[in-house]
Amino acid sequence: QQQVKQSPQSLIVQKGGISIINCAYENTAFDYFPWYQQFPGKGPALLIAIRPDVSEKKEGRFTISFNKSAKQFSLHIMDSQPGDSATYFCAASTVAAGNKLTFGGGTRVLVKP
Amino acid sequence: DAGVIQSPRHEVTEMGQEVTLRCKPISGHNSLFWYRQTMMRGLELLIYFNNNVPIDDSGMPEDRFSAKMPNASFSTLKIQPSEPRDSAVYFCASSAGLAFSYEQYFGPGTRLTVT
């Protein structure tokens, strides 16, 4: 059972555009939602994370929007740059499970110059 | 500072052979995670340790897979016997603790090909 569903699988955006990646979860016990960025040949790296007590978190050009009632959260990459071309994974965990993360399927983002 | 170190980076082996993947976590980190990444199944948590003790191995696919952490600076993931469907990239990650607020730092991965 896939507990975190991520879409789209791939995304092409022009430089300066906005990249939007969506995730939906099923387990209402999830209460920590990180996003990871992975470049080819590298391991994933934490990009930004949110707890459900806030609806939005922004760090630089990256913003997480969270909708608890819909059980959905999304990553927005503003002013997308070619260096942002990577695979992005959403994930979720519960406070009780600590660092045991359930990952979405990933979105490959290509930013064209 | 050295990050998570994994070896080998690439491994090609024949079906039926034993494969051992190695991981050195970041110094001072007491939690270690093994993941498998495939196109079909994405990134899956196989097992994780805290203070060298296995906490949850529910993600280990079969008895052919085993993991050990004999000390705080070394862990192995062993597959015996290996099968073609084990072909994947295996990542090791470490964190300073098990609380959700502790970031997991991933190694560069080991690409395993079983022919």
- pLDDT at position B1: 63
DSSP assignment letter at A35: E
Q: Convert the pLDDT of each residue in A38-83 to its tens digit.
A: 999 999 999 999 988 889 999 999 999 999 999 999 999 999 999 9
Q: Convert the pLDDT of each residue in A16-31 to its tens digit.
A: 999 999 999 999 888 8
Q: Is B98 on the interface with A (CB under 8 A)?
A: yes
DSSP assignment letter at B26: P
- pLDDT at position A98: 66
Pull the structure tokens for residue A70: 């819909």
Q: For residue B108, give the nearest of A43, A98, A103 by CB distance.
A: A43
CA nearest B78: which of B37, B40, B23, B10?
A: B23
Q: For residue A98, give the nearest of B43, B98, B106 by CB distance.
A: B98
Q: Convert the pLDDT of each residue in B42-69 to its tens digit.
A: 899 999 999 999 999 999 988 999 999 9
Q: For residue A100, give the nearest of B43, B48, B105 by CB distance.
A: B48
Residues of A in contact with B48 (CB under 8 A): 99-100
Q: Convert the pLDDT of each residue in B65-77 to its tens digit.
A: 999 999 999 999 9
> The tokens 């052919």 sit on which residue?
B64
Inter-chain contacts counted by CB atoms under 8 A, chains A and B? 52
Residues of B in contact with A103 (CB under 8 A): 42-44
Q: Convert the pLDDT of each residue in B8-44 to its tens digit.
A: 999 999 999 999 999 999 999 999 999 999 988 889 9
- pLDDT at position B97: 82
